Structure 1
Amino acid sequence: MTAPRTGDLHLPAPLAPGDLDPARARPAADLVHRLTTRTLFGYRAEPDQRGWRAVEPIGDLASAVPSTYNAGLGTSLRSYVVHLRPGVRWDTEPPRRVTSHDVVRGFARACSPTARPAGIELLLSAVLGMRAYAERYAEAVAGHEDDAARHRAFREGDSIPGVFALDDESLVVELERPSQDAIDLLALTCVAPAPVEHDDVVPGGEDFARHARATGPYRIAGLDPDGGVRLEPNPAWDPDTDPLRERAFDAVTLRPGAPAPEPAPRVEVAEVLPACLLPHAGEGRPLADPALRRLVASAVDPGLVAEAVAGHLPGVAPARRVVPPGNSGNQDPGPPLDLPAPGSPVGSGEGTALVLVRPDTAEAAAVAEAVAGCLSGVGFRVEVRAVGPAEHAELLHGDGGAEHDLLLTGWAARWRHHNYRAYLQALLVRPAGRVDGPVFDVLIDRALGVDSDPHATRAAWAAVEQEAITRAAVVPLLHGPPWAARAVPGAERVMPLYSLGMAADPAALEPAGSRSTDRVPV
């Protein structure tokens, strides 16, 4: 095992303590998890983002990707046998190997009602019996959500039918139906293995850092009062067992005030959705009225929004679809959506008051101002509120209680191919106040049921997207290129990673002045 080269790496990352728990896995903690948490499968940081090696997941904790060729995928195309890579250990004293039972525990913790990770809905609809298990879990801890012992007792007495260990080194994951993105789903951080030490903390709990055990090249060393986290080398990590990560620094610090990487103006990969509106149609809110939602959607002109943010987000374009161009889930060329003419509303807001919540960033402020101007033009009275990253994440992924009518957010899929659901399902199936939930449950279930037929799949997801636009369940605003880091202060050989939203992969950086001669820089 080689020692890390001298150097400290500082990266920007506004974190809530609970986000450090892999079971909670939200984008704000992506960089931390990339350095501390290994998953069954993962993605390479590649110099050429257009090549297949940057797209296809490979085994991380798993020794190989299950397939019909290696007897890891059954003839039903629903049953995956995963064999763990030998030699991977937790940073316990003494180091203890990662087992398939730890993987089963990780799946169970992700189902906790206190976790609510960003990708949970994708898994609940995919893994056999996982949704029913999550419902039983919520009932078992209702009123006692802060009691770690009650959480542990439920998990010890119940299990997910589709996830079970064969022995210490092998497990089975069974799906509800065949799925082209199955390995991408199993690469999600929220189902990373969890050691027995994590039974002592509520999933997503604020005190997770005290109990955290790592499998990656670094481990949590401590928290800063300003929302930062300090990482130190993990002595139990063996680079010979890790095909995806390197360790080049003596310490890593992630905090809100760290210098931001310089962005590259364009990356030739699939575009993302940097701005959209998610209407909140909860009981008693104005946008429970379908006519008002459609008025909002037709009043907002994405062209004006794009002009307003050109100085903040170069390269963006008005969005007319939910799934951005360049993704396999994008329907262009294909049947055009039945869309209202932008900026041509029918009706009036008649003084209706709306609360628009946005992230507390300059880019979001520019978008929100343009949106509010469009809505004011048809009679709406718009109050714009800025919230911090933790509160925004709760509104997007959890049970945030802030009263609002429109949530301004962005979205990037975790994987680039077969990613219909990574946009449409992820944005339409939200925890509270979602628009016309039963309608989309049926449409999405139908789309997932024809996954083995490419033509039927495209048609089914096109129907989902059309309903999303018609019902104004999602109001797309901007499409644009993901922003890759070109230079990170104190580091060289920067390589972006699509699953990190094209941020620089912190596990592929080197200290400045120590660039390897056998690597190709971005």
Structure 2
Amino acid sequence: MTAPTRRPAPATGGPGWDAAVGALVNRSDRRGGTLRLVSSADVDSLDPARTYYVWVWLLQRLLNRTLMAYPTDPGPGGLVPVPDLADGPGQVSDGGRTWTYRLRRGLRHSDGTPITSADIRHAVQRVFAQDVLPGGPTYLVPLLDDPARPYPGPYRTDEPLKSVHTPDEHTVVFHLNRPFSDFDHLMAQPCAAPVPGHADTGADYGNSPLSSGPYRVAEHRPGAYLHLERNPYWDPATDPIRPALPDRVELTIGLDVDELDARLVAGEFDINLEGRGLQHTAQGRVTADDVLRSHTDNPRTSFLHFVAMQPHIPPFDDVHVRRAVHYAADRLLLQEARGGPVTGGDLTTALFPPRLPAHQNLDPYPSGPDLRGDLDAARAELKAAGLADGFEAVIGTQRGKFRMVADALVESVARVGIRLTVKELDVATYFSLGAGHPQTVRENRLGLIVTDWGADFPTEYGFLAPLVDGRQIKRNGGNWNLPELDDPAVNALIDETLHTTDPAGRARLWREVERRVMEHAVLLPLVHDKTLHFRNPWVTNVYVHPAFGLYDIQAMGLDATGPDSSDA
């Protein structure tokens, strides 16, 4: 492992505040050098079937290709998947139930073996093995499974998944059990990256995965670093998306957030891969310095920061208790905990981000004219629950901004007698084995959980269904329906959206889904996130990808002043 090269902090102004939002900054096709990334948390998994962190999905774009992928486009075009391994979009037939893809020729894995349609099918089959490979998205399971004879995954049977056909080595056909107009988006998720059966080691695959993208894993020491090197079998002539400019990519893992920010701004690292943005200490320094500020971006990421309440943990099984928390929330204090209105996010009382057609101005639990909370309404709800004197409970969180939000909520609800104890969970496993694991939630009696969420793909279904669809509750980890909401009326409305071809009608249905969810009061929306990102001036092709809300590292390179640029 080589020590990071320190570069001086920027001495001259950059392209400007927010220059990489909607545009490409420092455009270049220069090859070579080592792109030095940093994160406080480790990757959740290098197995494409198990990862669910959005920043790891961006990392996967370096390692793996999928049938479809989001293009290198900072504008609205970046929201629409384009062919990657496939030679065209899915060909749709049978009323939207059959999707056919054909692979490009000359594709190879990082061990030199050809990429075939059987590798795609095997990758999809692995998603069904949630007992072995929990953690990643499972949209494909209800679309491709037979409820009368559920498929157990490739580790429990030698039989292939009957709904996926491979008539030849270059063709894969998906037979859905219901129409799903967003299927191209699912084929852009990491879990659709090809995995050949001969290399699949089950739960251990993430320790030594093959690659189909321009880079492969050179070395990974969990909690310390991840190094990528070029994949000699990747052919740029077959890849319309990835320029693969650096020779190496090195990720340093596990730094304290304030140390991370200081070393990033000092030039020791190029980009913060994790994308949670500069923390409070660095924000003050950077925003007060005109030169440093010109190297920052403050995008609206479409992430929702919220608190989930658990109806299976008393006294949150009473809707009046959940409503009391809504009314008692000091919205301005909670926004400040995220970094304030500039870098913390836009206050929201609704779930959908503004860029989605179903967004509505929904505020079922008003927090008073000063946004500091309606304490009288909160006390009335507690009285209705028989808890006029309040109660004690536990709120789950992790370090950093999540902890600050937890502390702010503790202060908010204490005003009406709700006494919360903060429980910090491990950052690296927060969503896989912590807050996202129902057993952990119950063992720690986490009545409230601080979290954030970004859409798996940029549609209403991709944004809200994982949070509220009862059929997407995951008992083995990686659960995003944190309240474990399973309302038949909500589930039925979600199904109706999938059969509605009229965009306006579909938006109306999603608004009704949102209203019904908010009636349950299990989700307390706080802000639609804005984060303050810092880009060092020698990094090229920097832009915030509209589908992910973070910097798209696969597009990046280094100019002549960058670390290790001499080896270009």
Report the TM range for the smaller structure's normalisation. 0.7 to 0.9
Q: Name the counterpart of 2:526.
A: 477
CA distance change for structure 1 residues 299 and 78 in 2, over 3 Å: closer, same or farther?
same
Partner secondary structure for residue 116 of structure 1? coil
Q: Name the counterpart of 1:97.
A: 114
Q: How far off its partner does 1:366 sit?
A: 2.4
Distance in 1 separating the partners of 2:528 and 2:42: 28
Q: Name the counterpart of 2:419.
A: 381
Tell me if 1:408 matches 2:450: yes
CA distance change for structure 1 residues 473 and 26 in 2, over 3 Å: closer, same or farther?
same
Q: How far off its partner does 1:188 sit?
A: 1.2
Tell me if 1:36 matches 2:75: no
**Which residue identity is paired with 1:215?**
S
CA distance change for structure 1 residues 506 and 446 in 2, over 3 Å: closer, same or farther?
closer
CA distance change for structure 1 residues 319 and 347 in 2, over 3 Å: closer, same or farther?
same
Q: 1:442 aligns with which of 463, 483, 491?
A: 491
Q: Name the counterpart of 1:286.
A: 315
Distance in 1 separating the partners of 2:365 and 2:326: 10
Question: 1:63·1:83 contact (CA, 8 Å) conserved in 2?
Answer: yes
Q: Name the counterpart of 1:464.
A: 513
CA distance change for structure 1 residues 153 and 365 in 2, over 3 Å: closer, same or farther?
closer
**Which residue identity is paired with 1:503?**
L
Q: How far off its partner does 1:443 sit?
A: 3.6
Q: Name the counterpart of 1:109.
A: 126
Instruction: Report matched runs for 1:115-514 at 5 Å.
Output: 115-120=133-138, 122-125=139-142, 127-129=143-145, 136-137=151-152, 152-159=154-161, 161-202=162-203, 205=204, 208-210=206-208, 212-256=209-253, 257=255, 259=264, 260-261=271-272, 264-267=296-299, 271-282=301-312, 284-311=313-340, 314=343, 316-331=345-360, 336=362, 338-341=364-367, 343-344=373-374, 345=378, 346-348=380-382, 350-361=389-400, 363-394=401-432, 395-399=434-438, 401-402=440-441, 403=444, 404-416=446-458, 419-429=459-469, 430-431=473-474, 434-439=483-488, 442-481=491-530, 483=531, 485=533, 487-488=535-536, 491-499=539-547, 501-513=548-560
> 5+ unaligned residues in a row in structure 2: which ranges?
1-28, 265-270, 279-295, 476-481, 563-568
Q: Name the counterpart of 2:26.
A: none
Question: 1:4·1:250 contact (CA, 8 Å) conserved in 2?
Answer: no
Tell me if 1:24 matches 2:24: no
Q: How far off its partner does 1:250 sit?
A: 2.2
Distance in 1 separating the partners of 2:551 and 2:217: 20
Q: What do the CA deviations read for 1:156-194 (whole angstroms, capped 9, x no partner)?
A: 2352x4322121100111233333322112211112211
Distance in 2 separating the partners of 1:488 and 1:169: 42
Question: 2:194·2:212 contact (CA, 8 Å) conserved in 1?
Answer: no
Q: What is the RMSD computed on CA atoms of the aligned residues?
A: 2.9
Distance in 1 separating the partners of 2:241 and 2:85: 10
Distance in 2 separating the partners of 1:107 and 1:352: 46
CA distance change for structure 1 residues 389 and 329 in 2, over 3 Å: closer, same or farther?
farther
CA distance change for structure 1 residues 290 and 132 in 2, over 3 Å: closer, same or farther?
farther
Q: How far off its partner does 1:485 sit?
A: 4.7
Q: How far off its partner does 1:460 sit?
A: 1.9
Instruction: Work out the percentage of aligned pairs sharing the same amino acid.
Output: 24
CA distance change for structure 1 residues 36 and 131 in 2, over 3 Å: closer, same or farther?
farther
Q: How far off its partner does 1:509 sit?
A: 0.8
* TM-score, length-scaled by structure 1: 0.82
Partner secondary structure for residue 95 of structure 2? coil
CA distance change for structure 1 residues 16 and 315 in 2, over 3 Å: closer, same or farther?
closer
**Which residue identity is paired with 1:42?**
A
> 5+ unaligned residues in a row in structure 1: which ranges?
67-71, 138-150, 516-522
Q: 2:85 aligns with which of 61, 72, 96?
A: 61
**Which residue identity is paired with 2:307?**
L
Question: 1:337·1:466 contact (CA, 8 Å) conserved in 2?
Answer: no
Q: How far off its partner does 1:457 sit?
A: 1.6
Q: How far off its partner does 1:452 sit?
A: 1.4
Distance in 2 separating the partners of 1:312 and 1:223: 38
Distance in 1 separating the partners of 2:454 and 2:159: 37
Distance in 2 separating the partners of 1:32 and 1:444: 35
Distance in 2 separating the partners of 1:238 and 1:411: 35
Partner secondary structure for residue 491 of structure 2? helix
Distance in 2 separating the partners of 1:109 and 1:198: 13
Distance in 2 separating the partners of 1:310 and 1:128: 43
**Which residue identity is paired with 1:177?**
R
Distance in 2 separating the partners of 1:468 and 1:279: 12
Distance in 2 separating the partners of 1:13 and 1:447: 40
CA distance change for structure 1 residues 176 and 14 in 2, over 3 Å: closer, same or farther?
farther
Q: What do the CA deviations read for 1:254-296 (whole angstroms, capped 9, x no partner)?
A: 23236354874434xx6513410111233x5432222222222
Q: How far off its partner does 1:468 sit?
A: 1.4
